[in-house]
Structures are given as C-alpha cells and as structure tokens.
Amino acid sequence: MEDAGFIIGSYVVTFAAIGAYALYVMRRARRTTSRLPDEAKPWT
C-alpha cells in the first residue's frame, strides 16, 4: 500500500486515543462507584 505509514498511523492514532479515553473513564467509574451505596446509582 502506498503511504502505508500515514494511513495505518491515522487508524492507530484514532483508536489508541479512543481506547485510552475509554479505559480512563472505566477506571474512574470503578473507583468512584465502589465508594457509593447502590441507592446512589440510578442506572442499576
């Protein structure tokens, strides 16, 4: 593939950034919700 570095690089940048953000959100969610009683979690 021509310009493979740029093309694959753009896919890697996109999904690495989103993946990192998703991990950050999930870790933060786990940390905060573990300190809360279930009544305070309206989504359950």
Partner 1 sequence: MASQYRRLATDSAAATSRTSDPPTVAVATSSGTSTRATRLLGAVTLVGIAWLVAFGLGFSPADANQKESVRILYVHVPSAWLAYLAFIVTAAASAIYLFSKKHALGWDRLAGASAEVGVLFMSITLVVGALWGRLTWGVFWEWDARLTTTAFLLVTYIGYLAVRRLGGSHEQRARRSAVLALLAVLEIPLVHWSVRLWRSLHQEPTVLRPDGEVKMDGLMLFTLFVGIVAFTLMYVWLVIHRQRTMAAEDALDDVGLDAAIDARLAEGSS
Q: Which residues bind partner 1 (CB under 8 A)?
A: 1-4, 6-11, 13-15, 17-18, 21-22, 25-26, 28-30, 32-44
Closest distance between partner 1 and the C-beta of residue 19, in Å? 10
CB of 21 to partner 1, least distance (A): 5
Q: Contact, 1 vs 7, CB < 8 A? A: yes
Q: Is 20 left (phi over 0), alpha (psi -120 to 50) or beta?
A: alpha
CB of 15 to partner 1, least distance (A): 7
